[in-house]
Structure formats: structure tokens, C-alpha cells
Amino acid sequence: MLIKNCNIIYLDKIETGSILIENGCIKEINPTNCSDENILDAKGLYISPGFIDVHIHGAGGCDTMDGTSESINTISKTIVEHGTTSFTPTTMTVSIDDIRKSLDAIKNVKEKGEGGAHVLGVHLEGPFVSPKAIGAQNPNYILTPSISTYNEIVKDYEDIIVSITLAPEVEGAKELIKYLSSKGIVCSLGHTSATYEEAIEAIECGACHSTHLFNAMTPLNHRNPGVVGAIFDSNITTETISDGVHISYPVLRIAYKQKGTDNVLLISDAMMACCMPNGDYSLGGQDVVVNNGEARLRNGALAGSVLTLDKAIRNVYKNSDLPLYEVIKMASYNGAKHCKVHDHKGQIKEGYDADLILFDDDINIKKVFILGKEVYSK
């Protein structure tokens, strides 16, 4: 298939051109001789790599913690309509049995395929978090970090673990960070009441990422820099929930200038109410009320979001001076690097997977392709 007359979004520029897709891959960009009879005229739409969401709990009325392949597939099919072509289903601080049940379902979908977005692996959010920065995690299931407990949780599923969020100040966390980072697992600072010094020490032990910047972590203060200060004062990556609720737009602009767009990932942190009407839902077994684009526990704490990545991109693009290609990079290539699939996903390049999306000037998704196959059209 040839997609012509499209504005191709590269990592560092946008240029008008055409893309030849063959056998699920990008065979050639701007081919001079093409005999392919299957031609799609994009009529000036943007074409970008598919979005990659490395922190998402649910969508379409389903939750990762449902522990079923059907729920993972529903999430996959729901978010693909908003341009997300790959994701890491994210678990919660719940019982070990429930985490393992979810890991089994995720592995099953990852291996057997899905009807929508690719499952790249798992993000474990907890259970090694701080009760002092609990957010919407369940305090009843917090565990002390240890290598043995981690191995008990992931036994038989080690190969699908991409990342883990943990509080670095809790006893045992630094040893676990050293162990996991040596295995190539992304250790992310989050749900933490750590000091600046404790966070820096964790980074020196191998922590290389931080979970939902500003949320559920010690803030930046001019005398106590906190975890936010450690993130700004180091080269680790971070992620933002760019819905205008979790972080104000001026603070988002400050964060992007400080960290640079190479080191920030746009995430949804979406829960089951994503793409659903207002009402009562749950997250990790806790009641959540969704109203006017906000998901909160009954105590008022933010409980994930109802954000989709196309909306996150639109929000950042309209509320910053960043060029569109840099915003798209934060939602695609940076996530691919995080998941270590950037040798074949996350950018428009010859030989890469044809996970592609077409959208207009207002980031309205028009078509989605996964491995060259059209999976959504509006």
C-alpha cells in the first residue's frame, strides 16, 4: 500500500511525502517507482508513528486488574481508536494473587495477539510504594521491597516485565533497584516521600525513570528540592499526565524546558472510565467517581485519569510553544525507547513497523494502521 500526499512527522521535522508499506513494514519513504495499485490519498493529513502508552490501567469499562484476557483486549481495542498502537498494561498495589492473575492475562494477550494496540509488556505500579504518598493505591496491600518478594510476584512472567514503580526511601528498595536494573528492568521513582538525597541515591543505584511527574512525590521547594528536584537535577526520564488536571499547563511548560523533550513521555494513566460516560467506577478495588474529565476516589484523591494520548498531544501542542514533531516524539519514540523496542517502533523510518496514524490539524484521528493493516477509520 502507498500512502501519498501526507505530512510525515519525523523525529526532528515534518515534510510532505509518501510512504510505501509492504509486509507490515515501512518499505520505502518517497518511492520513485511504485507499482502498488493500493493507493491511499491522505489529502494533506499528518502521518505519525503510533502512540505508545507506558502507563495505563484501563479503558472502555475494563481494568488491567480484572485479570482476564478479554479485559486486556477491550482496553487494546478502545485506545487504538485514539492513536495508541502499543502499550504496557499497568497493575496496581493489590494482593500478589491478583497481580499474578493479571500478569497471566497480559502474557496471554501479548503472545497470542490482540485486536487493537500491541501489548509490549507490563508496568508494575507497586506494591513497593510509600503509605505517605499512596495516591489511589490501596494501602492495605503495600509490601516491603525485597528481591524474594519481587520474584514471588513475577515467577513465570519475568520476561514480560518492562518497568516497576517503587518508593526508593523504603528499606530494601535500593537493593531491589540494583537487582532489577542489572536485569534491564526500568526502575521508576514514584508514590514516594523520599528526600532529594534519597532519590539521588536511588538514581545512583540504577533508577532511570520517574512515575507521573509531580504527582505522589515530594515537591520542589527552594530549600528542600525533593524528588521533583532530583528528577530535574539528573538525566533520568519522566512522564506527564497532560490533562490539565494533574499538572497545570504553566508547570508542564516549565518541566518540558527543564527536562527537554527527549526525556519526557506523555502517558494517560487512564483507568476503566476512559472513553466512558461520567459515573461510578473502580481502580484497584477502590471506588472512583468520574465527573467532568476527572477521576477521584471518594476521599477526593485523583485516581488515574480518563485521558487518551491524542488528547494529551492536543493539550500540550495548544498550551506550549513546542513544535508538533517534538510533542509526537514524547508520545511515540520516547515510549519505544522506554520499552526497548525503538529499533523497530516509534518513528517513521524504512524497515520499521508500519504502526501509523493519520490525523488532522486538531489531532483528530482519522485512520490507524497496525503492521500496515487498517484497524480504525473515521
Write out the binding residues for Zn(2+): 125, 191, 212
C-alpha cell at 101: 492473575
User: Identity (one letter) of the amino acid at 365?
Assistant: I
Say which residues have a Cβ less than 8 Å from residue 347's Cβ, sequence separation at least 6. Answer: 10, 11, 49, 332, 333, 336
Residue ranges at the known binding site: 125, 136, 191, 212, 215-216, 223, 246, 302-304
d(CA 165, CA 150): 12
3-state SS assignment for residue 252: helix
Helix (H) or strand (E) holding 36: none
Are 310 and 323 a contacting pair, CB within 8 Å? no
Number of C-alpha atoms within 13 angstroms, CB side, residue 18? 17
User: Identity (one letter) of the amino acid at 259?
Assistant: K
Residue ranges at the known binding site for substrate: 136, 215-216, 223, 246, 302-304
Options 66, 243, 269, 310, the catalytic residue: 269
d(CA 242, CA 268): 8
Is 269 a known active-site residue?
yes
- The catalytic residues are 269
